[in-house]
């Protein structure tokens, strides 16, 4: 029953298939605003969970525009290529992050994160 405005980034956990495409399961995460962090409201929908994300180190790449799944897949491939075989990071998932409201037409910011092992 408590309204919380949109927060940024909207973080989507992507699960890559062998060919680099994304599996048809995703997890969308929204940051709980600061004033609710100590005592977040309980979700009324069973599919909504409150989860504490531990600190992490990430390899990241940034791009603009209205990001689509193909953009995230392409930038994940570019990041993988840039890191080469020396960097150790989680291969079973990565994060796709968007920072802007849908009505912002210019100067949009999107990122792909690989979690360092």
The reply to whether 84 falls in a domain is yes
**Per-residue pLDDT at 53:** 87
Mean pLDDT by 10 residues, the chain (117 residues): 80 89 85 88 89 94 96 96 95 96 94 98
The reply to whether 4 falls in a domain is no
Range of the domain at 108: 10-35+54-115
Number of structural domains (the chain) is 1
> In this structure, what CATH number is given to the domain that contains residue 103?
3.20.80.10
Residue 111 near residue 61, CB atoms below 8 Å: yes
pTM: 0.88
The reply to whether 76 falls in a domain is yes
The reply to whether 64 falls in a domain is yes
The reply to whether 41 falls in a domain is no
- Residue 84 sits at φ, ψ, to 5 deg, of 65, -160
The reply to whether 44 falls in a domain is no
Own/partner pairs for 73-76, CB < 8 Å, 24+ apart?
73/16, 73/20, 73/21, 73/22, 75/110, 75/112, 76/14, 76/16, 76/20, 76/112, 76/114
């Amino acid at each position: 029953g408590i309204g919380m405005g949109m927060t940024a980034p909207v973080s989507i956990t992507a699960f890559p298939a062998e060919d680099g495409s994304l599996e048809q399961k995703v997890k969308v995460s929204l940051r709980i605003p600061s004033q609710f962090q100590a005592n977040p409201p309980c979700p009324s929908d069973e599919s909504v969970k409150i989860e504490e994300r531990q600190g992490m180190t990430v390899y990241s790449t940034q791009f603009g525009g209205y990001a689509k799944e193909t953009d995230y897949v392409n930038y994940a491939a570019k990041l993988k290529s840039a890191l080469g075989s020396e960097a150790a990071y989680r291969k079973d998932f990565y994060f796709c992050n968007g920072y802007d409201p849908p009505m912002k037409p210019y100067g949009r910011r999107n990122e792909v994160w690989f979690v360092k092992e």
